[in-house]
């Protein structure tokens, strides 16, 4: 049976060179980066080199890079510290953010009694920028806007410059969950009007359990995790040295090969859209995921023309045929609630049809996509 992995928005295959660098680090550089002897200094040098390298690729200052366990921790850290340390009283977000943001801001309303407001969305899942401006001007409270750059389920790309301009004009902080875009798009943090970004290595062919936050210098944030002086005192805990090495290697490789790999994956996505429309008349791509100009090149979210009864067996059937994909975020697996993203933008009747996220990487081929489409076509015919 053919094995086809089309769930790259959930996690990606680790690059061979990343595995090799991590193995080398585990075998040869085992000192604690906080120790002052030569073993520790050697490890510390590697950690700081990784920080400087990552900063260089996104035009940030090394001190703005804080290593974390991943995107979820980075989002939690930024949002919690912004409320605790910056006097934020109002958070403006959307109902289609990743749960790392949504669940955090919901908890903050309970703990700090902040005002939580949601920007209105259009039928494709884009924020209403006029409504966002109205929310920013609604009162004089200190505000933070949290809107993700690339939606992890429908792939919509946020207009970062427009949101940044609105935040700057109204004295608000701007946090963007960039887990689906860092490593896939070029960045110039120094010239952007975003105050806080987040990244996870496993989204760009690195190891799981490591990521970073990008926090503007002199932001005023204080540590969330205390107990040691690691990460310039901002995040206590012995650095996950081998994972940082893997993160750096994956990040550098992704950007060194960005144009080549982006063009290749764009070709896969366009091929998938074209062939799906031929094979399954009536297929609809949710959000802007079928629009190459308005969505990320790494995924599509397809609403398939199957009835409710047939839908029940779809993902099970795909799995039996060796095809890995998702009905939404991997963080929702095991949940019967369905996609909170699609619930916000689709009418009830359309929600009854199965929507499946197919996400692509450099390791996929057109032949794999054709196999997946043929499986869907055969399923529809039976």
* CATH number for the domain that contains residue 299: 3.90.1150.10
- 230 and 193, same structural domain? yes
pLDDT (tens digit, 9 = 90+) per residue, 148-199?
999 999 999 999 999 999 999 999 999 999 999 999 999 999 999 999 999 9
- 226 and 263, same structural domain? no
H or E element at residue 24: helix 16-28
Structural domain of 223? 16-256
pLDDT of residue 329 exceeding 60, the answer is no
- 375 and 241, same structural domain? no
Of 238, 256, 274, the domain-final residue: 256
- 344 and 238, same structural domain? no
- 101 and 132, same structural domain? yes
- 79 and 138, same structural domain? yes
Q: According to the model, what pLDDT value does residue 335 have?
A: 47
Domain CATH code at residue 60: 3.40.640.10
- 132 and 52, same structural domain? yes
Name the residue with higher pLDDT: 224 or 205: 205
Of 221, 256, 291, the domain-final residue: 256
pLDDT of residue 317 exceeding 50, the answer is yes
Please return the burial class of 34, using the count of CB atoms within 10 Å of its CB with bins 0-12, 13-18 and 19+: middle
Is 325 among the residues known to form the active site?
A: no
Structural domain tally of the chain? Answer: 2
What integer best gives the mean pLDDT of the chain? 95
Q: According to the model, what pLDDT value does residue 229 have?
A: 86
Per-residue confidence band for 332, with pLDDT thresholds at 50, 70 and 90: very low
Catalytic position from the list 81, 167, 325, 331: 331
- 332 and 249, same structural domain? no
Strands (E) across the chain are located at 4-5, 65-68, 90-93, 115-118, 143-146, 173-176, 196-200, 211-215, 284-285, 299-303, 323-324, 355-359
Per-residue confidence band for 334, with pLDDT thresholds at 50, 70 and 90: very low
Average pLDDT over residues 280-296: 97
On whether the CB atoms of residues 154 and 289 are closer than 8 A, the answer is: yes
- 73 and 182, same structural domain? yes
- Determine what percent of the chain is predicted with pLDDT higher than 70: 97
- 317 and 376, same structural domain? yes
């Amino acid at each position: 049976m053919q094995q086809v992995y089309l769930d790259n928005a959930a996690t990606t295959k680790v690059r061979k060179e990343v595995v090799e660098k991590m193995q080398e680090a585990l075998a040869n550089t085992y000192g604690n980066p906080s120790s002052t002897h030569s073993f520790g200094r050697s490890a510390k040098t590697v950690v700081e080199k990784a920080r400087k390298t990552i900063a260089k690729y996104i035009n940030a200052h090394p001190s703005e890079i804080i290593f974390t366990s991943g995107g979820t921790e980075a989002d939690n850290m930024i949002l919690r510290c912004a409320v605790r340390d910056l006097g934020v009283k109002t958070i403006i977000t959307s109902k289609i953010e990743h749960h790392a943001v949504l669940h955090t801001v919901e908890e903050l309303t309970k703990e700090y009694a902040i005002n939580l407001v949601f920007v209105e969305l259009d039928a494709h899942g884009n924020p209403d920028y006029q409504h966002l401006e109205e929310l920013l001007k609604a009162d004089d409270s200190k505000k933070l806007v949290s809107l993700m750059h690339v939606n992890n389920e429908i792939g919509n790309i946020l207009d970062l410059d427009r949101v940044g301009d609105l935040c700057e004009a109204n004295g608000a902080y701007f946090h963007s969950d960039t887990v689906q875009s860092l490593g896939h798009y070029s960045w110039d943090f120094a010239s952007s009007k975003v105050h806080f970004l987040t990244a996870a290595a496993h989204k760009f062919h690195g190891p799981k359990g490591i990521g970073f936050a990008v926090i503007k210098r002199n932001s005023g944030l204080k540590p969330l995790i205390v107990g040691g002086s690691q990460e310039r005192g901002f995040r206590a805990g012995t650095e996950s040295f081998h994972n940082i090495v893997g993160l750096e290697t994956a990040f550098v490789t992704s950007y060194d090969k960005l144009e080549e790999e982006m063009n290749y994956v764009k070709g896969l996505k366009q091929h998938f859209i074209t062939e799906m429309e031929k094979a399954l008349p009536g297929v609809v791509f949710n959000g802007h995921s079928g629009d190459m100009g308005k969505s990320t090149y790494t995924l599509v979210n397809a609403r398939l023309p199957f009835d409710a009864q047939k839908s029940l067996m779809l993902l099970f059937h795909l799995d039996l045929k060796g095809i890995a994909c998702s009905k939404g975020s991997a963080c929702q697996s095991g949940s019967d609630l369905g996609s909170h993203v699609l619930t916000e933008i689709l009418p009830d009747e359309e929600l009854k049809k199965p929507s499946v996220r197919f996400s692509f990487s450099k390791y996929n081929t057109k032949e794999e996509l054709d196999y997946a489409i043929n499986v869907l076509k055969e399923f529809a015919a039976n």
